[in-house]
Amino acid sequence: MPDYNTHRVFNYLTFLVISVLLFKLQVVITDMKLFLALGVGFYIGTDFITPDLDIESKAIKRWGRLKVIWLPYKWLFKHGQSSHNILYGAVVRIMYFSIIILGLYYLLFRSLPPETMISSVYVFIFLIGIITANALHIILDVLF
């Protein structure tokens, strides 16, 4: 299986190639905020919320002291099985982490006015970025 840096290089080169192709095909991204949401989701999916969070990997070490939040995930999922399912694995990791994030988000931002909330379109595009990065990780594992 490819190592952590191989996954990162593969993911970022693929993202760059797709971005250039879209530009060359004159597929206009009218909202740079959407592209930024996709890019940030892709970054998070490549470097932080990867299929390798169920082992002692560089990805889990990137979390520093916060890696403790992934312990229950590591106990529940065995490496290479459901965590490496191209769609199911990413969805489970997103749901797992979303419970934590939504709890913090609620506690921190519940007093803000509704217009300061993030649009669901940006959240959806952000999640597409995570899922795409995870799918590329799994594809590379299957190829090598």
Kindly provide the b/e burial profile for residues 33-63, where b requires at least 16 CB atoms within 10 angstroms of the residue's own CB. Answer: ebeebbbebbbbbbbbbbbbbbeebebbeee
Q: Residue 119: what pLDDT?
A: 78
pLDDT tens column, 39-90: 999 999 999 999 999 888 899 999 999 999 999 888 888 777 778 888 788 8
- Best-predicted range by mean pLDDT (10-14, 66-70, 109-113): 10-14
| Mean pLDDT for the chain overall | 86
What percentage of the chain reaches a pLDDT higher than 90? Answer: 42
Determine the 3-state secondary structure of 25 from DSSP: coil
Q: Residue 28: what pLDDT?
A: 63
Position with higher pLDDT, 30 vs 138 = 138
Q: Residue 11: what pLDDT?
A: 97
Rg of the chain taking only CA atoms, in angstroms: 16
pLDDT at 107 over 70: yes
Q: Cα separation of 82 and 39, whole Å?
A: 25
Nearest Cα to Cα of residue 42 among 140, 131, 143, 114: 131
pTM here?
0.86
- Distance (Å) of CA 135 to CA 24, 83, 98: 24, 11, 19
Alpha helices in the chain (DSSP H): 4-24, 32-47, 58-61, 71-76, 88-109, 120-143
